[in-house]
Homo-oligomer: A and B are copies of this chain.
Amino acid sequence: MGEEKIELLKGTLDMLILKAIEPLPMHGYAIAQRIGQVSRDFFQLQQGTLYPALHRLEDRGLLKAEWRITETGREAKFYSLTRKGRRYLEAEIRGWERMTEAVALILRPSE
């Protein structure tokens, strides 16, 4: 039993990854860093969480990967959104907003 397990992501991981690379393609390691920074260290993606997620998203045709050279001269796999991925991200964000509104109705009833 995961007594003290801290469940942070709660199904938001795909959306966060897709959103992170929306402005410009990034490699996995940088995605984890960026999500950590922007969320003020709330989200700290482990590699065992991140990479399988990237592969899932690629298998579903939401991302595409391309080997390139980073600005520090190393090889890395850069991920970018496909058109399908962009549509999916928009739908995910709408779904997330509707979900959090529904949760808010439960948490703060009778406003």
Report whether A102 and B39 are in contact in the complex, using a CB–CB cutoff of 8 Å: yes
Cross-chain contact of A106 among B19, B98, B102 (Cβ < 8 A): B19
Report whether A8 and B106 are in contact in the complex, using a CB–CB cutoff of 8 Å: no
* Residues of B close to A19: CB separation below 8 A: 106-107
The interface residues of chain A, by DSSP majority, are classed as helix
Closest B residue to A34 by beta carbon equals B106
CA distance A1 to B61 in the complex (A): 13
Q: Does A53 contact B (CB under 8 A)?
A: no
Residues of chain A having any CB pair with chain B under 8 Å: 1, 7-8, 10-12, 15-16, 19-20, 35, 38-40, 42-43, 60, 93, 95-96, 98-103, 105-107, 109
